[in-house]
Amino acid sequence: MIELHTKQYQQITWALALGSFLVFCNLYIFQPILPQLATHFAVSETKINWVFAASTLGLSVCLVPWAITSESVGRRSVMLAGLFAIPIIGYLMLLTESLSTLVFLRACMGVALAAFASVAVAYMVEELSSEAFTCAIGGYIAANSLGGIAGRVAGGILTGYFDWHTAVFIISSFTLVCVIIVAFLLPKQEHFTPTRGLFFHHNRALFTHLSTPIVWVAMVIGGINFALFVNLYSVMGFRLVAAPHHLPVALSALIFLCYLAGTFSSKWTGRWSAHFSPILGMVLGTELSMLGMLVAIIESIPAMLIGLLLISGGAFFTHTLAYAWVSQKATTAKATATALYLVHYYVGGSIGGFFLLYCWQQGKWASVVEGGSVLYFALFALCWKLAKLNRKDQTTPMVANPR
């Protein structure tokens, strides 16, 4: 196994962090420019949301299939295939002026992104020692966050000063150069053994997790939490470029720097879990996020930014705790369980956009608060349900599973 501070350790950590940065940069590039695209294609807010939702849906449905494929052909091959496909799909976007074709290509982009996202951690687990992995995973997760912020901010600024074609061209070209660097740095796997016949095994594991309420409820919490978090930002983008603020896209894209509040709050979950209940933490995170939505009712840019900071801090806190809960409570096939959590996570983000943007079309932020409140109260109900299931689980005597 590769040890901490060795040359190969440095190569792996830099390569996977860079790959993670590229994945989330390309995933979120279109989110801040949805208002401009709606004007460009002369369509409604809910219809233009397909440009963003197609990629998250494509990613969500392909996470598990790519993970299964990597068991046979290897993690490195799957990751590099996905990464090299990203700039190719990006360049193809430049050749179309059709919204339907753009949506299709964004769905293909999601499929390509899933190849890396689904197996990068498995590669680290197999190649690095436990000490090296513990250090490497922090940089990998940080790169997720920074890539998402960079993609949104760069996409918004480049589109604001030029157009969306220029933004896609520059980011795709940057991606191509960086992918070549990743391919050069990333060592071939030495501790991977191909395994066949895992399709039915993973199917059984999926059904097991979905039929285990104490695991599945946490997955649903993650999905609804992300539906609110990511799409309140999308709605805020439309709000800031409209009257009475009329901010340019390049400036409104800077709201995504508020994501940094979530980067910090997610680091506090370890300390919280050491002293308090994770479920109570999910409730606290949901309360903070809901408070942010309510604060943002005030028609003032500083109030909106404070609201977004609270939304980010609370949502990331809930997400981190729910994600950890799934990995801890799944008794078998933990990798499949965490992949299934991410499926719920990104499907929630995709569907939530259509719901909240529809609310925005009907009655602006006031209607968004009404619709969002329904989802927040659903989160509170699910947290209560999870607490009830956990109490029952702790009082149920252990029995051997029949073979």
The pLDDT value given to residue 81: 97
Name beta bridge partners: 2: 128
What are 192-246's pLDDT values in tens digits?
A: 777 665 666 666 767 777 778 898 999 999 999 999 999 999 999 999 999 999 9
The pLDDT value given to residue 272: 87
| Same domain assignment for residues 204 and 179 | no
Residue 281 contacts residue 289 (beta carbons within 8 Å):
no
* CA pair distance 398, 320, nearest whole angstrom: 28
* CA pair distance 121, 140, nearest whole angstrom: 9
Last residue of a domain, one of 136, 169, 192: 192
| Same domain assignment for residues 61 and 152 | yes
The domain that holds 402 is classified in CATH as 1.20.1250.20
Range of the structural domain that residue 175 is part of: 1-192
| Same domain assignment for residues 16 and 143 | yes
* CA pair distance 352, 156, nearest whole angstrom: 22
Q: Is the pLDDT of residue 156 over 80?
A: yes
| Same domain assignment for residues 37 and 69 | yes
Can you give 303-328 as a three-state secondary structure string?
A: HHHHHHHHHHHHHHHHHHHHHHHHHH
| Same domain assignment for residues 255 and 329 | yes
Last residue of a domain, one of 148, 175, 192: 192
* CA pair distance 220, 126, nearest whole angstrom: 29
Token digits for 234? 């999308």
What are 33-58's pLDDT values in tens digits?
A: 999 999 999 999 999 999 999 999 99
CB atoms within 10 A of CB 40: 15
The pLDDT value given to residue 76: 94
77-81, 121-125, 302-306, 385-389: segment of lowest average pLDDT: 121-125
Using pLDDT thresholds of 50, 70 and 90, give the confidence band for residue 19. very high
Minimal CA–CA distance to 25: which of 212, 205, 175? 175
Last residue of a domain, one of 192, 212, 229: 192
Q: Read out DSSP for 176-191?
A: HHHHHHHHHHSPPPSS
The pLDDT value given to residue 178: 98
Q: Is the pLDDT of residue 402 over 50?
A: no
What are 329-360's pLDDT values in tens digits?
A: 877 666 677 788 889 999 999 999 999 999 99
| Same domain assignment for residues 98 and 236 | no
* CA pair distance 57, 303, nearest whole angstrom: 32
Please, what is the average pLDDT of the chain?
90
What per-residue string of b and e applies to 185-195 under the rule 16 or more CB within 10 Å gives b? bbeeeeebeee
| Same domain assignment for residues 181 and 220 | no
The pLDDT value given to residue 334: 67
Q: Is the pLDDT of residue 398 over 50?
A: no
Distance from chain centroid for Cα 339: 12
| Same domain assignment for residues 158 and 243 | no
Q: Is the pLDDT of residue 401 over 60?
A: no
Residue 78 contacts residue 69 (beta carbons within 8 Å):
yes
Token digits for 308? 């977004």
Number of H helices, E strands in the chain: 16, 0
Look-up: residue for tokens 């390509």? 112
Q: Read out DSSP for 217-260?
A: HHHHHHHHHHHHHHHHHHHHHHHHHSTTT---HHHHGGGGGGGH
| Same domain assignment for residues 140 and 32 | yes
CB atoms within 10 A of CB 69: 19
Mean per-residue pLDDT, 186-192: 85
Mean per-residue pLDDT, 106-112: 97
* CA pair distance 144, 160, nearest whole angstrom: 24
Distances (CA, A) of 266 to 136, 141, 253, 273, 285: 17, 10, 23, 11, 10
| Same domain assignment for residues 269 and 131 | no
| Same domain assignment for residues 112 and 260 | no
Task: Please tell me what DSSP assigns to residue 31.
Answer: G
Name beta bridge partners: 128: 2
| Same domain assignment for residues 116 and 236 | no
Task: Please tell me what DSSP assigns to residue 298.
Answer: S
* Count of structural domains within the chain: 2
The pLDDT value given to residue 168: 97
Question: What pTM, to 2 d.p., does this model score?
Answer: 0.87
